[in-house]
Amino acid sequence: MMYLADVVALTRKDLRVELRGRDTLPAMLLFVLSTLVVFHFAIPEDAGDNAAYGLLWVAIVFTALLGLARAWVPEQEHGVLDGLVLAPCDRSAIWLGKALATFVFLLAAQVVALPAFVLFFEPLDATAIAGVLLADVGICAVGSLLSAMAAAGRARELLLPLLFLPLAIPLIVGGVGAAVSEEGGRFLLFLLLYDAVFAVLSWASFEYVVTE
Amino acid sequence: MGLALVLALIVAPEDADQGISQRIFYIHVPIALTAYFCFGLGALKALLLLWRGDERYDLESYVAIHQGTIFGALTLITGAIWAKASWGVWWTWSSNQLVLFLVLFLFYCAYFMLRFSLEDGPRRARSSAVYALFGVALIPVSFLAIRLAEDFIHPTVFTREGPQMSGSMFATFVVSWGAVTLLAYLLYRVELAGKRLDADLRELREALQ
């Protein structure tokens, strides 16, 4: 119970910082909308309907990257991370709190992006939306850890996409498959597997990344 | 060691009755298996580092992954040559193994970017170790993903008819596999020795100052 309370407190802290500062979410919203508009001009007329789904996924991944790159900036700037690491709570709770907060941001961006996608391009069915949600879990789990890793480096904005994109390839396969394939259920299962494997890995290894 | 390699290279062509392009099989597949082995070794050392906290494992893990990446790049090159010879194109997205190696190659290149951008110290060692562990989890997951992706990217799959290996071909394969593994091991020891010397030298220089 203590663990859950810690996680909730950390998530609320992140959401409150965002509500007061409005640093990340407006940027993510604007970015995903502009990307969709750019894509309209980037796809030739005869490219086929499925191409749009692929581009939706490119937009989702890069929007998530934008949010993740900012994820640990408040902690870094004010030395909060050192305080959190010293605090008497399990370190993985810090990761879970951050992952949940990022998940909320990503959901908020998608509440705008998905209807815009339907309006501009193609319809989305329930499987496709389930694919987006499942992939979000994976993105936030892996992304929060990698982002903490990259934040310690010299070129953190540069490093995060390099670390993240190879790991995101299976998520994109799952997400696009869920939207395009007739047997979307298999892809949802695959996304679930990915989420389970990498969430456990990130949860278990976060402690090693942040301690000095 | 050199003898084993030369032997494998000389023995191999004798059995190649599948046409000349098939000979690269004796190089390509052992290299690929060795690359997997190196990545696995790197992850094992990474796990040991996190578990025992002995800094010696950091260098060993790094060197193993370095070797793995070199062998991975060689796999991509020999794979491209083989693809050109047997399918007429340098690159094909329908060869699962090649695509997997491309993903892994990108992943482990990012590993080096991570290492070079962090300050030297225990935190770098542990971050790299965590990333290396992600790598071995990524191998089966990516493989599955690439298999699944065939469904919507390539409706028709190349069927690479696996030539049944005769006894002598299999023997050649095993010899070249052994040779490549030995080569990898030797390179691993040499690089490790070099890196350790380097670290010792740096310590000495700091002590002198």
Q: Give the domain extent around B122.
A: 24-154+167-208
Q: What is the pLDDT of residues B103-161, one digit of tens each?
A: 999 999 999 999 888 888 888 889 999 999 999 899 889 888 888 887 665 444 344 44
ipTM of the complex: 0.85
At B116, give phi and psi (nearest 5°): -75, -15
Q: Name the pTM for this structure.
A: 0.84
Instruction: Specify whether the CB–CB gap between B31 and B5 falls below 8 A.
Output: no
CA A14 to chain centre: 15
Question: Which residue would you say has higher pLDDT here, A141 or A71?
Answer: A141
Chain A nearest CA to B171, separation (Å): 36
C-beta of residue A102 within 8 angstroms of C-beta of residue A28: no
Nearest to B33 by CA among B7, B68, B4: B68
Whether B159 maps to a domain, the answer reads: no
Give me the domain span that covers residue A145. Answer: 2-210
Give the residue with greater pLDDT, B11 vs A189: A189
**pLDDT above 50 for A135:** yes
User: Which of B105, B136, B151, B154 to mutate against chain A (most A CBs within 10 Å)?
Assistant: B151
> What total of structural domains would you count in chain A?
1
Residue B106, chain A, CB below 8 Å: the answer is yes
Tell me the per-residue pLDDT of B154-197, one tens digit each, with 9 for 90 and over. Answer: 444 344 444 455 566 677 777 778 878 888 888 888 888 888 88
Taking each helix axis from N to C end, the angle separating B25-52 and B56-87, rounded to the nearest 10 degrees, works out to: 160
Rounded to a whole number, what is the distance in Å from the CA of B168 to chain A's nearest CA?
Answer: 39
Helix (H, G, I), strand (E, B) or coil at A91: helix
Asked if residue B23 lies in contact with residue B12, where contact means CB atoms within 8 angstroms, the answer is yes
Residues in chain B: 209
Residue B41 C-alpha from the chain's centroid: 10
Q: Which residue type is seen at B62?
A: Y
Q: From A69, A67, A65, select the one nearest A155 (Cα to Cα).
A: A69
Name which of A204, A200, A195, A10 is nearest A102 in CA terms: A10
What is the per-residue pLDDT across A79-94, written as a single tens digit (0 to 9) for each? 788 888 888 888 889 8
Tens of pLDDT, residue by residue over A158-211, are 889 999 999 999 999 999 988 888 788 889 999 999 999 999 999 999 988 888
pLDDT given at position B11 = 57
Surface of B (114-143) touching A: CB under 8 A: 114, 117-119, 122-123, 126-127, 129-131, 133-134, 137-138, 141-142
pLDDT at A179: 87
Query: Measured on CA atoms in the order B48, B50, B51, B54, is the torsion positive or negative?
Result: positive
Average pLDDT over residues A57-78: 88
Distance from CA of A52 to the nearest CA of B (A): 14
Q: Which residues of B touch A201 (CB under 8 A)?
A: 133-134, 137
Domain count within chain B: 1
Residues B144, A208: C-beta atoms closer than 8 Å: no
